Amino acid sequence: MESGAGGERTRDSDGDCDMEEYGQLQQQLHSSKMRLHDRLQVATIATAERTAHKCGMKVSSRVMSALTDLTFKFAERLAVDAELFAQHAGRKKVDTDDVLLVARRNEDVLASLRLLAQSFAKSKEKGPEKKRKKAVADVPDT
Amino acid sequence: MEHLTSTFQPEIFKFVWAQTAKKRSKEDSDEADPEVAAAGAGPSKKSRGTNINSDALKLSCEYLRLFVTEAVERAALVAEAEGCTTIEGTHFERILPQLLLDF
């Protein structure tokens, strides 16, 4: 009886070969996932400590790690949803509207995010206009 | 402080989208189960690597920051009601259901 002992994999079907590559890819992704996790932890700790300081409280380390895990999963879900919405609209780039749609659960959150989005749009409009005005003003001066 | 997250936010998203793209390519090769592939991939457009707008990125950073801030503030309320100065796991788990429903 043929038994694949340990590392030997019979490559009769393409399925087995792909599984090995898939496993390797998974390992690579896992290590990069850990790195992203750690970087997120830094940002989460900063934000959480700031907020807790405002309330005059401290945060325990267990709560911090739990919050980091939660935020990471939240970010993953956000990414998946935003991608699906962009794909649904027939776009390849995720837009502000897609992000706003993901945040539709809570109306207050949606309202404050929408304000922020509008401020971005306004600053973008003002940016190129200011450049044009400067160019026009420079010409009669010189 | 917002831009703390914006430095590596695109990498989290790209990581997730790389995973979803890989899943889709694996499902597409698995033609024995077309139902599973259709259910997993949705509309069957093979998009290799999604990108994000910079404004959308800042917006999602703000969204995540709101999430963390809200969680800490709600847990702080519970801890304050109990008379503690440190936010513990018991305080945190009490706010968790409503937080997840709100976000």
Q: Could you tell me if residue A106 is inside a domain?
A: no
- Least confident piece of the model among A100-109, A133-142, B52-61: A133-142
Higher pLDDT: A60 or A34? It is A60
The confidence score (pLDDT) of residue B77 equals 92
**Nearest CB partner across the interface for B68, out of A67, A98, A106:** A67
The least confident of A53-57, B45-49, B75-79 is B45-49
* pTM to 2 decimal places: 0.71
Residue B43: what are its φ and ψ, rounded to 5°?
Answer: -60, 125
pLDDT band at B44, cuts 50/70/90? very low
Residues B23-36: tens digit of each pLDDT: 666 655 544 444 44
Residue B51: both structure tokens together:
């990108």
Q: What is the pLDDT of residue A23?
A: 83
Domain with A26 in it? 17-94
pLDDT band at A136 (very low <50, low <70, confident <90, very high): low
Q: Do A94 and B8 touch (CB under 8 A)?
A: no
Contact indicator for A26, B50 with CB cutoff of 8 Å: no
Interface membership of B89 toward A (CB under 8 Å): yes
CB contact under 8 A, B66 and A47: no
Residue of A32, A44, A55 lying closest to B68 (CB–CB) = A44
pLDDT at position B76 over 90 = yes
CATH code of the domain covering residue A38? 1.10.20
With beta carbons less than 8 A apart as the criterion, state whether A43 and B1 touch.
no
User: Taking residues A22-26, what's their average pLDDT?
Assistant: 80
Pairing mode, strands B86-87 and A58-59:
parallel
A86, part of any domain:
yes
Interface of B with A in 17-76 (CB under 8 A): 17-20, 22, 26, 29, 42-43, 45, 47, 50-53, 55-56, 58-60, 62-69, 71-73, 75-76
Better-predicted residue by pLDDT, B13 or A24? A24
CB B74 within 8 A of CB B95: yes
Residue A89, in any domain of the structure: yes
Which residues face A59 on adjacent strands? B87
- Tell me the mean pLDDT in the region A109-124: 87
Distance (Å, whole) CA A132 – CA A127: 9
Cβ atoms of residues B60 and A99 within 8 Å: yes
- The band of B51, judged by pLDDT with boundaries at 50, 70 and 90, is confident
Higher-pLDDT residue of A54, A16: A54
Q: Is residue A84 part of a domain?
A: yes
Work out how many domains chain A is built from and give that number: 1
Residue A111 lies in a domain: no
Give the pLDDT mean for B7-22.
Answer: 66
pLDDT at A4: 44
pLDDT single digits (tens) A46-104:
888 888 898 888 999 999 999 999 998 898 888 888 888 988 999 888 889 999 999 99
